Structure 1
Amino acid sequence: MEFTSIPTDKWEWHPSPLPSQITLVTSRGADGALDLAPKSCLAVMAFDPLTVGFACNRGHTTYQNIVRTGEFVVNVLPEGLAPLAWAIIAFQGQERIDASGLTFLESKRVAVPRIAECTAHLECEFDDAVAFESGEAFVYGRVLAADILSEAVGAGERGYRLLDPCFYLDGGWAGMGAAKRPEA
């Protein structure tokens, strides 16, 4: 195999060697206003307690809400809704909520709602954020409650097809495809 050097600026990676899952993060402002934002670059930071994080610009409403109110929900976006993630970024605030056409459900442990059309939800309590010189931050929080599509529980590889996660790929997206396991 031959390899070619690429820049250390992720915006110049075509294709990206690090596809990342697309999610919709919900948060509330101090005034109670709901915010919805597509986010990728999501990671599990720790297993005990379960802690997840995602990249976010510190100037974005999502970041400001989470730091101020201490709560957010990561909603797993199914591939069929990926075009929506691109469509709603043209809007802000309540206009984005209205344009999404999504259904918001009360969460179990946080005041921020889950999204009914998403296939899994992680209700989180803000823990901390690591700020970078670029104006970005990696926001992370402890998962207080989690749920997934009931039909996916215990369904093995079929469960992943039901969750139908999608991944950001250089301005577009792809589904997960068939789940595979190593041969024994």
Structure 2
Amino acid sequence: MYSYEVADGHGLKHNPFKAIVSPRPIGWISTRGADGTVNLAPYSFFNAVSDTPPIVIFSSSGYKDTVSNAEATGAFVFNLATEDLKDQMNLSSAPYPHGISEFEKAGLTPAASKLVDVPHVAEAKAVMECRYLQTVRPTGLNGQPADNWVVFGEVVAVHLAEDALVDGRFDVTVARPLSRLGYKDYAVVDSVFELDRPRG
């Protein structure tokens, strides 16, 4: 087995860290700034961390508009990135100047949300409106704060595409969400299987 200590470097052509921790859901986050400008950006580090109450997180490398907007206005929206929207998601990741609409650049339709004053992607097959809870800046073993900002939000409203609801379930094989892998790689969720939990 190939092994390395992180402090010594991986010694490979490419860092395997993100490829190992995969697949990961993509946090396609829309926000509105205090000045009214709207931002839309995908985040490779995103997940749900609680179901009661429903809480999601995304982590930003660097203190970016998405983080400052969520903190300033107290809200953000998660939009599900799916196979049919992969090009639009990718376009929204470009480093546009502040005030430039990623919705417009990616050819997406901003739709009014129900409980938060942040638009969501009308084309998305699932949307979660979130109220901002807190931001955590992790500290490494060296005692130095990382240039990463983990934002927590509680889900207060959910929108689901009717065609993705099958027998009362949100069917990911219909929605086909994108998963982020390592390097430049992505995958699509298109098959599932069930396992019964042991009774112990």
**Counterpart residue number, 2:141:** none
Aligned-residue offset at 1:72 = 0.2
Q: Which amino acid aligns with 2:37?
A: A
- Aligned to 1:144, the other structure's residue is in SS state strand
Query: Any idea what SS the aligned residue of 1:98 has?
Result: helix
Kindly indicate whether the alpha-carbon contact (under 8 Å) linking 2:30 and 2:118 is maintained by their aligned counterparts in 1: yes
Question: What CA deviation, in whole Å up to 9, does each residue of 1:113-143 have, x standing for no partner?
Answer: 1111111001000001110222111111110
Larger-Rg structure: 2
Counterpart of 2:159 in structure 1 is: 147
2:19 to 16, 19, 22: 16
Cα root mean square deviation, aligned: 2.5
Write out aligned runs for 1:57-96 (5 A): 57-92=61-96, 93-96=99-102
Farther off after superposition, 63-72 or 142-151: 142-151
Residue 16 of structure 1 and its aligned partner are, at CA, apart by 1.0
- Whole-angstrom distance in 2 between the partners of 1:135 and 1:4: 29
**Residue in 2 that maps onto 1:118:** 124
In the alignment, structure 2 segments of 5+ residues that lack a partner are: 139-144
Q: Note the 1:91-106 alignment, pairs <5 A.
A: 91-92=95-96, 93-106=99-112
Distance, in Å, in 1 between the alignment partners of 2:18 and 2:148 is 22
Give the TM-score normalised by structure 1. Answer: 0.87
**Equivalent position of 1:30 in the other structure:** 34
The structure-2 alpha-carbon separation of the partners of 1:163 and 1:7, relative to structure 1 and needing over 3 Å to count, comes to: farther
Instruction: Assess, with a 3 A threshold, how the Cα gap between structure 1 residues 126 and 6 changes in structure 2: closer, same or farther.
Output: farther
For residue 174 of structure 1, what is the aligned residue in structure 2? 187
1:130 to 122, 128, 136: 136
Point out 4+ residue stretches in structure 1 off by more than 4 angstroms: 6-11
The residue identity in structure 2 corresponding to 1:163 is A
Instruction: Deviation per CA, 1:151-173: give whole Å up to 9, x if none.
Output: 22244788111221111122121
Structure 1 gap ranges (5+) = none
For residues 58 and 181 of structure 1, do their structure 2 counterparts lie closer, same or farther at Cα, with a shift above 3 Å needed?
same
